[in-house]
Amino acid sequence: MAIVQISRITHRQGLAENLPQLAGGELGWSIDERKLYIGNGTLTDGAPVIGNTEVLTEFSDVLALASSYTYKGDAGGYTVVTGATAAAPITRKLQEKFDDFASVKDFGAKGDGTTDDTAAINRALYELFSRQVSAEIRRSLYFPAGTYIISDTIKIPSYAKLWGEGADSSVIKLNPADSSFPSYLARTTDSLQQTGTNIGLNAAILPKQIEISDLTFESAIATSVFLLESTSQAYFNSVNFIGGDEVANLGVATANTKCFEIKGSSTSVPEMVTVDKCQFKLCTYGVHCDDDAKGVTVSNSRFYNLFRGAVLGENKESADTGPQAFRIVHNLFDEIASAGVYIDNVSHNCSGYNTFLDVGNSFNGEGNAATHVIQLLEDDNVSIGDMFERSDTNATSFSRIKRGSGKNVVAFDGAKTIIQGEYERQSGLVATLTDGVSTDDSTDSTILILANPTYKSFKIDYSILRGDTHRIGTLKCAVGPMDSTGAGSLSIQWSDGYVENSDTGVVLQIIEEGTDIEFHYTTTVTGTNATIHYSISHLN
């Protein structure tokens, strides 16, 4: 419009509470709040309302001034209809829009790798998830990329949802300034942030519906990393749990630290827990549970640099049921000093389709077997489709899968052994029978050594190929007891029934060597070695 008047610009200054109605075009400066206002003018002059309009400065509360926000979706090339019609869009205050989620930095955390962020993180968790019972206050808590140093336990209450920029980008690291340090880097709590014997008291809601993704929990000291206590419906995705133990100290279980520990009781049973695409490293145990718990899945994860990988029920209280319905599936176990999966005193758990590389070798590398790779020491547990780097030679000393005295165990180790209840079969075994071995009690004539077997009868199904001759047969053996004092020799009865298209020149033999039973052979001189393919089966 045309300028109808040019006049001297006037202004006033004073305290905000004394700001008067300014004349049209007149400026007013609020000294105490450092805010600038301009008079609207009169309705006769054309002003839409009478009053003062704030001029934006660096001290203005922009979010309070912005009266509305409407989603437009400009990237689609059109304006999105957010309301019932295009003419009635949904509008919200800008402050409301920004409050849709919270950053831990909104509560004072720095994430600079130096500042102690313990108080800020716990304050955020309390304010967002514990201070009020109303669901409307809950917001997912975002950890921008950075290292958040803490000196005490992070308390994660019911309904908490934490997410970061990626496990290697958003790191919560325990690094106390003095020698005192907590038992856990982080732990779940009830809705009042109570833990231990107090959990669930004072009408608090037991830990539930907790989700954590794309973060690392790392300790700079030898302490346990994460405790999931009395929690139901908990989900962990792409999270690293890294302890502070030295690999040199993990050949034994002395430190007793856990990357991820599950605790509960008969009245507060952890259940419906999923841990997916995570990593467990540099503690005594990767995943550990002795208490009542059920319905836990650990999948697509990596267990590395540990004494044992997943341990269930080892020190279960006799009155407890202990962990059950655990599924440890599709994981990678590597550089584990002792067993990758260890299950004792509890039932109804499954290990399946995992891969075990350097496991059970006391960190001395493959070929130095020191213990069994999987140990199922109680009935009604299964191993199905697990794969092993351990060779047949090492498996002779420590089998890939060990079971206890119970009979109701199923195991398919993905390599040689099938266990179904009392029946066990090792298949796919092969050996070369050297030409011209004339003494069946020599080292050269040994096919297989059964070291102090617990079973007393077995059967060997075999086929022998030697040039154009071949033979198929079954060797049966029954082992009798020693004398009443445990001294003397074993009583061995065996027979070899077979058919062959022509004389293979091979004689098989079962002999006793102390408490061991050995499978031997002799061969005639034909100038050709023989190959035997065989399996051994028995009832325990």
Q: What residue type is 199 in one-letter code?
A: I
Q: How many CB atoms are closer than 10 A to CB 74?
A: 9
Q: Of the given ranges (119-128, 291-300, 354-363, 456-465), which has the lowest mean pLDDT?
A: 456-465
pLDDT bucket at 158, cuts 50 / 70 / 90: very high
Question: Which of 56-70, 392-406, 438-452, 495-509 tops mean pLDDT?
Answer: 495-509
The SS3 assignment for 149 reads strand
Examine the pLDDT at 459 and tell me if it is beyond 70.
yes
Structure tokens at 470: 């071949």
Same domain, 457 and 526: yes
Confidence of residue 472 (pLDDT cuts 50, 70, 90): very high
Decide the pairing of beta strands 302-312 and 332-336: parallel
Separation of alpha carbons 434 and 270, rounded Å: 58
Is residue 123 one of the residues assigned to a domain?
Answer: no
Tokens 């990596």: give the residue: 302
487 and 530 together in one domain = yes
Residue at 164: amino acid letter: G
Residue type, 226: F
Structural domain includes residue 159: no
Percent of the chain whose pLDDT exceeds 90: 54
| Closest among 27, 63, 39, 164 to 105, alpha carbons compared | 164
Give the DSSP per-residue string, 320-355.
Answer: S--EEEEEEES-EEEEESS-SEEE-S--SEEEES-E
| Residues 363-378, mean pLDDT to the nearest whole number | 92
Which pair of tokens denotes residue 519?
A: 């499978």
CB atoms within 10 A of CB 38: 18
Please report which residue ranges of 34-93 form alpha helices under DSSP H. Answer: 62-65
Q: Please give the residue that has the higher pLDDT: either 172 or 46.
A: 172
Check the CA dihedral 515-519-523-529 and report its sign: negative
Where is pLDDT greater, at 515 or 236?
A: 236
Structure tokens given for 202: 């004072």
Same domain membership, residue 474 and residue 491: yes
Cα–Cα distance for residue pair 332/337, rounded to 1 Å = 14
Residue finishing a domain among 421, 456, 491: 421
pLDDT at residue 185 above 90? yes
Residues 477 and 414 in one domain: no
Tell me, what's the pLDDT at 403?
A: 79
Together in a domain, 329 and 379: yes
CATH of the domain at 511: 2.60.40
Residues 404 and 463 reside in one and the same domain:
no
Write the CA distances from 225 to 178, 222, 287, integer angstroms: 18, 9, 11
In a domain, 319, yes or no: yes
- Residues 187, 198: Cα–Cα separation, whole Å: 14
Query: Given a cut of 90, is residue 226 above it in pLDDT?
Result: yes
Q: What is the pLDDT of residue 2?
A: 47
- How many domains is the chain built from? 3
Look up residue 261 and give its two tokens: 């520990």
CA angle at 496 for the pair 491 and 502, rounded to the nearest 5° = 155
Report the chain's C-alpha Rg in angstroms. Answer: 36
Confidence check: pLDDT of 3 > 50: no
Per-residue confidence (pLDDT) for residue 490, from 0 to 100: 57
CA 192/CA 387 separation, integer angstroms? 45
Residues 414 and 437 in one domain: no
Per-residue pLDDT, averaged over 73-92, amounts to 82
Same domain, 402 and 444: no
Q: Which residue has the tokens 């077995």?
A: 458
Q: Give pLDDT, residue 67.
A: 65
Domain end (from 380, 403, 421) = 421
- 161 in a domain, yes or no? no
Residues 361 and 448 in one domain: no
Q: Say whether both 512 and 391 belong to one domain.
A: no
Q: Is residue 275 part of a domain?
A: yes
Higher pLDDT, 479 or 536: 536
Task: Give the number of other CB atoms < 10 A from CB of residue 20.
Answer: 11
Neighbours of 206 (CB within 10 A): 21
Q: Which two tokens stand for residue 429?
A: 């075994």
Please tell me which residue, 343 or 86, carries the higher pLDDT value.
Answer: 343
Average pLDDT of the chain is: 88
Which range has highest mean pLDDT (215-219, 267-271, 514-518)?
A: 215-219
Indicate the residue type of 363: F
Q: What's the average model confidence in pLDDT over 450-459?
A: 82
The answer to whether residue 139 sits within a structural domain is no
- The Cα–Cα gap between 31 and 468 comes to 108
CA distance readout (Å), 107 to 110, 121, 123: 9, 7, 7
Residue 89 three-state SS: coil
Task: Read off the pLDDT of residues 496-535 as tens digits, 9 standing for 90 and up.
Answer: 999 999 999 999 999 888 888 899 999 999 999 999 999 9
* Residue 8 identity (one-letter amino acid): R
Residues 414 and 439 reside in one and the same domain: no
- What residues are paired with 460 via a beta bridge? 475, 536
Q: Among residues 50, 65, 80, which one ends one of the domains?
A: 65
Q: Counting Cβ atoms within 10 Å, is residue 237 exposed (0-12), middle (13-18) or buried (19+)? A: middle
Predicted confidence band of residue 1 (pLDDT cuts 50, 70, 90): very low
Q: How far is CA 309 from CA 292, 342, 362, 410, 418, in A?
A: 19, 8, 13, 20, 23
Give the burial string for 271-291 (b: 16+ CB within 10 Å, else e). bebbbbebbbbbbbbbbbbbb
Query: What token pair was written down for 424?
Result: 């066990």
**How far is residue 310's CA from residue 258's CA, in Å, rounded to a whole number?**
10
For every residue of 116-132, DSSP letters joined together read E-HHHHHHHHHHHHTS-
Give which of 183, 119, 120, 130 is closest to 156, Cα–Cα.
130
pLDDT greater than 70 at residue 63: no
Cα(359)–Cα(399) distance, integer angstroms? 12
CA atoms lying within 13 Å on the CB side of residue 227: 24
Q: What is the mean pLDDT of residues 214-218?
A: 98
Mean pLDDT score, 103-131: 94
Instruction: Specify the pLDDT at position 411.
Output: 61
Please state the rounded mean pLDDT for residues 284-298: 97
Distance of CA 391 to the CA centre of its chain: 27
CB 371 within 8 A of CB 339: yes
Which residues span the domain enclosing 533? 430-539
Contact partners, residue 394, CB within 8 Å, separation at least 6: 366, 367, 368, 369
391/439 same-domain check? no
Query: Per the domain annotation, does 229 fall within a domain?
Result: no
The tokens for 153 are: 């336990």
Instruction: Determine, yes or no, domain membership for 118.
Output: no
Q: Which two tokens stand for residue 208?
A: 């539930």
Look at residue 429 in the predicted model and tell me its pLDDT.
86
**How many Å apart are CA 285 and CA 283, to the nearest integer?**
5
| CA distance linking residue 157 with residue 303, whole number of Å | 27
